[in-house]
A and B are shown apart, each in its own frame.
Chain A
Amino acid sequence: MKEILKSFWQKLFGDSVRAFGVVSLVFLASLAIAPAKNFFSEWRHYQHGYLRMIRNRSDANTLQRHFQGGIQQIWLPELGVTDRCTSCHVGLKEAGLTDVGTQPFRKHPAIPHAIDQFGCTVCHRGQGAATTVAEAHNSTLAWEQPILPAKYIESSCGECHRGSVPGTPQLTQGRQLLSRYGCVHCHTVKRPDGSTMKPTDDPPSLSHIADKTSREWVYAWLKDPQAYATTATMPNFKLSDDDARDMSAFLIANSTPLPGDTATLTAKPASDPAAGPSLYGESFCASCHAVQNAAGNLVGGDVGPELTRVGSKVKPEWLQAWLRSPRVYDAETAMPHYRFSDPQVATLSGFLLAKADSDLLANVHLDAATPQQIAHGKRLVSDYGCASCHEIAGIKKPENFAPELSRIGSKPVTQLIFLPGMPHTLPDYIAGKIKQPRAFSPGLKMPQYSFGPAQIDALTTALLALNDRASTLPPSLTVPAVPESSYEPAGKAGKLMSDLACFSCHRINGHGGTMAPDLTWEGSSVQRQWLVEFLKNPNTLRPSLIRRMPRFNLTDGEVKELTDYMMTVYQSPSVDRDSMLLSGYTPGQIELGKQLFYGKYSCQGCHIVDTKTDKGYIGPTLTHVGSRLTAAWIFEWMKNPQALRPGTAEPNRAMSDGDARALTAFLISQKGGAKQEVAKK
């Protein structure tokens, strides 16, 4: 062996000339490595492919002219972008290449940002400086940020756009779900702008739960909330029978009665088959509460809890007290204080109590609780962090019960523990945790949610947007969210409005729900007398809406209080409601307006003025508009509806003053001569 090596050495370096020759050859060869690597590089391969592809196209000349060979780079220091992606993705900016489906040559789809100003990795992540596909797209030892799968791409929009943006429904949905399902009760989420995400699920206090329901129901609910209501946002803690028994024992034993919380009515709950459904319907309970119909479909809103099986849950005395005055039990509830009479309460509670499911509690048999069980239940209630969401007398809300998620989108993969078979990426980890948290370890406390796959994708998208880049962007590069308004109306009227929970549906000065019209400028828009009548007896303005304004049985005094306040305070600076007359327009003007209405602008497509001929079903019925709206409001509305109510579906027709005045004359003359009879579909 040694001999062979020796002779080999001799052969190569035997004499100095030969040695020089060999060494220089090796030297030359090593010099050639870099150019060869360059020559065989992937990007060059793709650029050749691109040139071959465009050769036979009709627009070859243009494409050829735009083509630049060699490594391309977008450098944006303020964004931390050094992106060489365009070295392979050659056709990104070529408008002509929309028909090309093969990557990396596709034209980038239209988005509101220019590639030159934002680069690629700001949205797609991955390693911008890399010049090979593997390094650019995958995670490597040196760089673990792989390219972001397309389904989470909206998370990148969320890094800069702190509020909701049009065109990113998944991000918006994910952010809403974080609040709606109360994730943020346990997990602190500080947005990059410093504000903290607030839950919107409004979990009830459990301090007086025994007034409301039975221990059996609590047990069944703890075991499986969705068995009671498919829409329940409460997750399943996968409790053992014994644990659920002890927790229900504690919660009931811990409950104290609340004065006024239960009621004894003079009238007994009546299950009147006709009056019950009709009062439920007239009160538009379904605007907020869903009920499963015979076909198994949920019908109704999701502001309040589902009522499919409410009769198996609530105690009659509690339900009646609640219907009579919900704020006694829950001062913050979104439920309005309907001024129901005692017979109405009896009718409605009878109707609701009949919504029972005999199977729900059929197999729940609990013996009287022992002190040990109660003590054990208390420990469990603390351990599971129930008080993170619910107020429970004697148990403090735990601080930092679950890991903070404010920067979860940048969590290093090396810090994650994956399930066997799971791809080792952060998005897969987050999605996996949301899907089945206890799969990661049976001892984990995070409960099981019933999210569908689309909801999991949305939540993952929203969480990925909470990352280091988002938190460290200079404010000049971000688009802040519209700050949440904490507007509260003042005085007696303000108290009345919160008692009636107007803000559960209506928005005023940026605060409140979006189910019903924005009332910020109601005082400029409507006539006083109409408002008085409407509050007393709301009729339907928009026939196509399934959700409507309920009747609250207000007293004359209350109506006056509300009307005075709204007419004075809710006025638009751009509409002087007394600047135009409510009558006295010439027949000529009115006739001209009528022609414009049915001709040029064809308003009957969406509105009804004459119930005999018009059928439009989108906008409000206008048969009585002359006694409802002020002329000045109609005029300004004709000129620019979006200026008065942003986002309204009414198109801006850029009307001349003349047309707007004629239409105002026509509309203000509609004082409801014909009886309103809207065909209901």
Chain B
Amino acid sequence: MTQLALVIDLNTCVGCHACVTSCKEWNTSGQAGPMVDKNPYAAEPTGTFFNRVQSFEVGTFPNTQTVHFPKSCLHCEDPPCVPVCPTGASYKRPEDGIVLVDYDKCIGCEYCSWACPYGAREIDEQQKVMKKCTLCVDRLYDESLPEAERKPVCVLSCPTSARIYGDIHDPESEASKAISDAGGYQLMPEWGTAPANHYLPRRKVSIAIHEEDLQRVDNPLRKEDRGPRKPTTRTTLDDSTSW
């Protein structure tokens, strides 16, 4: 069975929101219909987004680190949001594990959003239906796109390649390898939702620099204490010869 998912590397995410804007751009102009964008240039801008980047400060000043944390639907393997939906509008595709909402069936009762512990679902205030990340399902199988672009737009747009896309049930996929090599983890594992999206943990990135790294101790010039020849003021052969 296939389970498509994203693996997000918190080490490389710089919080630039490129995934947020490209997600909104693709999905607002795509199959899903427009996504609300209220007061975009005024105070209190708000609207529907499938993906958001949040920022957290970890530690106490001055020893702090900023963690940028992109958050979207995690396409849980045991999604609590699906069985509660009374209309069947919310469903998990058996073929690739993507959790989707059928906007033509949704009655906007909000019950699924109560059942998602991650706050990944949002009611669209214009269409009055529940919306959430589709993993760009309308790109993944589109044969009119070059094969390299059959990926979620957020993955393509990320300038630091912090987002890896793949089948986490295929141990050979880039996503699975990233999870096993870098200790990928799931959010709120305590609820047993088994999120398909994983996050790669922050690691220490400082290195120690010693004096001898800057100046070679075994520099042969230094060792024999013989510097380069000094410029001379005497006339040389070049000055006296004319031809």
Q: Do A and B come from one complex?
A: no
Q: Which A positions have Cβ atoms within 8 angstroms of B? A: none
Q: Which B positions have Cβ atoms within 8 angstroms of A? A: none
